[in-house]
Structure 1
Amino acid sequence: MIAIRQWLPSWVKIWQIMTAGAVFLLVTGNISPSEALKAIDWNVIAYLFGVFAISHALFASGISNEVSNWICADSRPVPAILFYFILFVTAVSAVLTNDAAAAIGTPIAIAIAASLGIRAALPLIALCVSVTVGSMFSPVGNPQNLLIVADGHFTNPVAVFLEWLLVPGLVSLAFTLVWFWYCFSREEQGDAPSHVAPEEQTMRQWPALLSTGLLCVLVLIDSFAHGSSWAPDLPLGALSLIAAVPLFLFSSHRVQLVKEVDWHTLIFFVSMFIVTGAVLKSGALQEWLSPWHDQLGDPVLVTSIAFFGSQVFSNVPLVEIYLNLLKGHETATLMLLSGISTLAGNLFILSAASNVIIVQQTEKHGVTPFQFWQFTRYVLPVTVVSLIACYAWVAFVTELNG
């Protein structure tokens, strides 16, 4: 239904479709209420709540508007605008995770579309790709990276990710810049969205900046201190909620903050976890992987299963089960699994949670996002190039390390 949503009535939203699927599975007994509650990753929900509160504060205080004005300042040429935009969201994705970058970058992408006089779809798709690729660079870039770090017991996870995934990430970003520059040059003027900016800057800027900075510091400290005894190992959800505290302490618009949290996207994720939980309970994924149980470390098999399996079962549960079935925990295998499962998000809207967040946030701003197959058409070249780069570089580093 999500794939054909453009032909459905306009009031049908992605979160409603996913919720209907979760309700159906509950009503038919495919998953019990208690199992559904256990299937929900409340850490992710808590992280998204804090991130949505911070992203709205950045928007309502005018900071997002200032960033978009700076990116498009002085009638910069399209390549320069794309370069600064991609660089910005990549950095946010690597430090604050892809979901945070998706929420923060959406109004900026819409503003860029308005500045260039084009449809919002193309800058939004460029945002999706940059957010996904950017999350490759760090151990906190996305949830599956966190699972791999926990399983790999790396002494310095930041250095490990930079050694194995920095080069393919940079190659992917360079191609993304060139490809979307070409796409932007062919895009016709017209149907540009209004510049999304708050009608009134209802919030002070310093609490939003403080919360954003606090989240950056907490995530970085947690990353560097991972597995050490000198700092507590707090989940990302707790870090996000702690970082959002200044907003609710020092803002006089606390009720507005709560109201403006993207509750529809949170409902989508709760429903998605229930649907995924039912799939995992059925044993379909485990049965699918069982014939290759003794070959799960083979690079070609890792690449194939990580990419295509992520399209069907979502990358986070696939990585979690894959790690449980792996006999060894070679760094090369773990890094290939991380890179390919992340890049799998650049194929369909549902392949990455950040894509869904961008769609939902765009509709929340009253702007028409991209369609399902339109997204795939634009991202397919980037997907092919980035997959080849990732596989080739991991193979090269593996050979180099003997």
Structure 2
Amino acid sequence: MLLTLVRPFARDRFLHLLLLVGVALSFVAPFQPQRWVHAIDWHTIITLAGLMMLTKGVEQSGYFDVLGRRMVKRFDNERTLALFLVSAAALLSTFLTNDVALFIIVPLTITLKKLCAIPISRLIIFEALAVNAGSLLTPIGNPQNILLWGRSGLSFGEFTWQMAPLALAMMVSLLMLCGFCFPNKKLVYQTHDKRHDWQPRLVLSCVALYAVFIVSLELKQEIWGLAVVAVGFLLLARRVLLSIDWSLLLVFMVMFIDVYLITQLPVLQHALAGINQLSGSGLFALGIGLSQFISNVPSTILLLNFVPASVLLAFAVNIGGFGLLPGSLANLIALRMANDRRIWVRFHYYSLPMLLWAAAVGYGLLYLL
């Protein structure tokens, strides 16, 4: 049991890299380890932990296999199935946030490889891009929009309206690219004679625990909600807790600390002092570029200390979710769930062109606005 829990930490090369970066940064940034714990966004960590348990519970119940089989029968070709899943990921992300959308869509997608021959890794890459594109539409689609909405003073409708042109342009572009990258090839169902048993009791328990967890998040009592979910699985299905990739949580914790250390670098502190003197184009480029290295949520928090919440800043940090892997935490979540080492490089074959295209489109829209 202990070996099962420790193995993911020992094999996680990305975690090891983040730890090395953190050690190196601690020598050049002010050494204040007592502040590191406060640099971690514990709400995000707790939310991720709860969602990881709940989605793993549904996966272990076998329900994703049943749902996947029904989807394969409904869609007769690879392109149609890919367009449906990418569209579903984008739609869910507009109201459930990009992270939650991935925790629903990606496990379902992974089960499809048991049922038919479809490029799962490529599909997950497109789903990651889709939640970045879809979530930018609404104030509750992602954490950076929640921050910007709170500072902007706009209504829900006003914020959505200002983001709609960019969201529409990116979704149309992404669906066109998806249609090109997935052929109109007939899906071959591989398990005609295999009946898959699933556990309705575990699924219903997951749904009930999910409702409790969401309510706890709304009431700002997330730690109690997480405790209820954990105890529920200890009593119902302990194997679920053993099969979760717990190293993902440590990856996020170390990433938050690394970002904090980067923002404390004296050279960066000096450079940021002149942000409010930048032109609109300069701020747009800075928002996108900064997001590439410290992720768009920390970039938003950092930049809001110097400039007001505006449509320009909202466009910049949301566009910054494309491109390099750290641009959005959603990218990391999707690729980690894929459990494919080659996907880390392949992701950039699609995300970097999307970044360039999104930057060009966003800049053009800002000029028109």
TM-score using structure 2 length: 0.82
Counterpart for residue 82 of structure 2: 82
Confirm whether residue 310 of structure 1 aligns to residue 283 of structure 2. Answer: no
When residues 124 and 294 of structure 1 are mapped into structure 2, their CA distance, relative to the original with a 3 A threshold, is same
Q: Retained in 2: the 8 A contact 1:53–1:260?
A: no
Confirm whether residue 293 of structure 1 aligns to residue 265 of structure 2. Answer: no
Counterpart for residue 389 of structure 1: 361
Q: Retained in 1: the 8 A contact 2:55–2:107?
A: no
When residues 311 and 69 of structure 1 are mapped into structure 2, their CA distance, relative to the original with a 3 A threshold, is same
Shift of 1:200: 6.1
- 1:121-132 alignment runs, 5 A limit: 121-132=121-132
Alignment partners' CA distance in 1, 2:180 and 2:172 = 13
Paired amino acid for 1:361: M
Confirm whether residue 101 of structure 1 aligns to residue 101 of structure 2. Answer: yes
Alignment partners' CA distance in 1, 2:230 and 2:70 = 25
Alignment partners' CA distance in 2, 1:120 and 1:28 = 42
Counterpart for residue 181 of structure 1: 179
- C-alpha distance after superposition, 1:235-275 (max 9, x if no partner): xxx45863884674488335334334431110001111111
Shift of 1:390: 3.3
Shift of 1:160: 2.7
Confirm whether residue 378 of structure 1 aligns to residue 359 of structure 2. Answer: no
Shift of 1:144: 1.5
Which ranges of structure 2 fall in alignment gaps of 5 or more residues?
1-9, 191-195
Q: Retained in 2: the 8 A contact 1:98–1:142?
A: yes
Paired amino acid for 1:150: G
Paired amino acid for 1:22: G
When residues 29 and 343 of structure 1 are mapped into structure 2, their CA distance, relative to the original with a 3 A threshold, is closer
SS of 1:185's equivalent in the other structure is: coil
Shift of 1:305: 0.9
Paired amino acid for 1:272: M
Q: Retained in 2: the 8 A contact 1:134–1:141?
A: yes
Alignment partners' CA distance in 1, 2:315 and 2:65 = 32
When residues 178 and 267 of structure 1 are mapped into structure 2, their CA distance, relative to the original with a 3 A threshold, is same
Query: Which segment drifts farther, 39-48 or 377-386?
Result: 377-386
Paired amino acid for 1:270: M
Q: What RMSD, in angstroms, separates the aligned Cα atoms of the two structures?
A: 3.3
Shift of 1:307: 0.8
Counterpart for residue 358 of structure 1: 334
Shift of 1:319: 1.2
TM-score using structure 1 length: 0.76
Q: Retained in 2: the 8 A contact 1:218–1:239?
A: yes
Paired amino acid for 2:331: N
Q: Retained in 1: the 8 A contact 2:78–2:118?
A: no
SS of 1:268's equivalent in the other structure is: helix
SS of 2:323's equivalent in the other structure is: coil
SS of 1:347's equivalent in the other structure is: coil
SS of 1:181's equivalent in the other structure is: helix
- C-alpha distance after superposition, 1:46-91 (max 9, x if no partner): 1111111221122123343344334333342233212220222123
Counterpart for residue 324 of structure 1: 305
Question: Of 329, 341, 344, which residue of structure 1 is paired with 2:317?
Answer: 341
When residues 40 and 250 of structure 1 are mapped into structure 2, their CA distance, relative to the original with a 3 A threshold, is closer
Which ranges of structure 1 fall in alignment gaps of 5 or more residues?
1-9, 193-197, 223-231
Counterpart for residue 256 of structure 1: 239
